[in-house]
Amino acid sequence: MPVTIAAMTGPDLAKQLFAAFENNDLERARECCAEGFRGSQNGGPEMDRDRLLKFTGMVNAVVPDFRYEEAVRSGTETGFVEEHRVRGTLPDGSQLDLMVCVVGEVSDGKITMLREYVDTGAAAGLMKALSAG
């Protein structure tokens, strides 16, 4: 019998969320996140769940082989920390290869907050592709 999202640990939720992002399964990603979800990248402006899902869809549209590799997940008292590589091929044929660290907070079986930290210089090609698309 599959484990329901509500019964998952923080690291399990992280695994489910990033698998959903990788597969562009935005409904599954929505199920992982609380209705009042908030997220940020590099301490920037907060985004809500719908904005996160829209951004994920845009990334998948410009990087059709978008994937996470070398994930290392740890549980914390309030959720999880995950380090991973984001890889794929950009529209210009160059390779996307980002090291990312994500801190997640979980409450009542849902992700309530994600704080993502990424090298913006290494993400420049992706940002260019997103603005062109």
Q: Which residues contact 83 (CB under 8 A, 6 or more apart)?
A: 70, 71, 72, 99, 100, 101, 102
Can you give the pLDDT at residue 82? Answer: 98
CA angle 120/123/125 to nearest 5° reads 135
Of 96, 110, 92, 89, the C-alpha closest to 33 is: 110
Averaged over successive runs of 10 residues, the pLDDT of the chain (133 residues) comes to 62 96 96 97 95 94 96 96 97 95 96 96 89 79
What pTM, to 2 d.p., does this model score?
0.88
- As given in the structure block, the two tokens for residue 25 are 């399964």
Can you give the pLDDT at residue 44? Answer: 93
Can you give the pLDDT at residue 1? Answer: 42
- CA 24 vs. chain centroid, Å, equals 11
Can you give the pLDDT at residue 7? Answer: 63
- As given in the structure block, the two tokens for residue 100 are 């990312």
Can you give the pLDDT at residue 123? Answer: 87
